[in-house]
């Protein structure tokens, strides 16, 4: 009888320790640093840090094919996303106003093009015009 009581007591102790360890694990996951952005936050601006201001990019795709839009910063490519053929789409990205911005556009299964370089200020609004014939007509960008 005493052996059963000790086994039950040991099980209860182990269960309590497991629950305590799990609670400590969860509390470590939720703390976080206030300056660190959550990569799973759907409202987070891609490619941004605390020193960068958000800019809005309006894309008008006049091409029938889908395209992938990339922002270029000091040789680093930041993928904004894909724009379906014959549609318009908006993106937001964090950007350091001290750096100029330009874009490369890759047509899915086809050619690509590059826009002109732009200087942007905080909370700027930039537009990109993708022509119907990428490679034969230039891709254009500007500020609003």
At 10-52, the pLDDT tens digits run 677 777 767 666 766 666 655 555 555 665 665 566 555 666 8
pLDDT of residue 46: 57
- Non-local CB neighbours of 70 within 8 Å, separated by 6+ positions: 77, 78, 79, 80, 103, 104, 105, 106
Query: Per-residue DSSP letters for 24-35?
Result: HHHHHHHH--TT
Look at 133 and 49; give whichever has higher pLDDT. Answer: 133
- pLDDT confidence bin for 109, thresholds 50/70/90: confident
Instruction: Say whether 127 sits in a helix, a strand or coil.
Output: strand
Query: Can you give the residue ranges of every domain in the chain?
Result: 1-31, 53-143
Total Cβ atoms within 10 A of residue 6: 10
Of all residues in the chain, the percent with pLDDT exceeding 70 is 69
What's the fold here for domain 53-143?
Immunoglobulin-like (2.60.40)
- Non-local CB neighbours of 74 within 8 Å, separated by 6+ positions: 99
Look at 114 and 3; give whichever has higher pLDDT. Answer: 114
């Amino acid at each position: 009888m005493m052996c059963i009581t000790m086994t039950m007591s040991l099980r209860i102790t182990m269960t309590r320790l497991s629950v305590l360890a799990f609670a400590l694990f969860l509390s470590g996951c939720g703390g976080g640093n206030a300056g660190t952005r959550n990569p799973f936050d759907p409202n987070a601006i891609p490619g941004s840090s605390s020193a960068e201001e958000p800019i809005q990019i309006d894309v008008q795709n006049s091409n029938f094919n889908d395209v992938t839009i990339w922002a270029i910063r000091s040789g680093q490519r930041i993928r904004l996303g894909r724009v379906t053929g014959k549609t318009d789409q908006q993106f937001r990205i964090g950007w350091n106003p001290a750096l100029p911005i330009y874009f490369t556009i890759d047509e899915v299964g086809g050619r690509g093009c590059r826009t002109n370089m732009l200087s942007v200020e905080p909370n700027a609004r930039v537009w990109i015009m993708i022509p119907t014939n990428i490679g034969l007509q230039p891709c254009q960008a500007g500020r609003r």
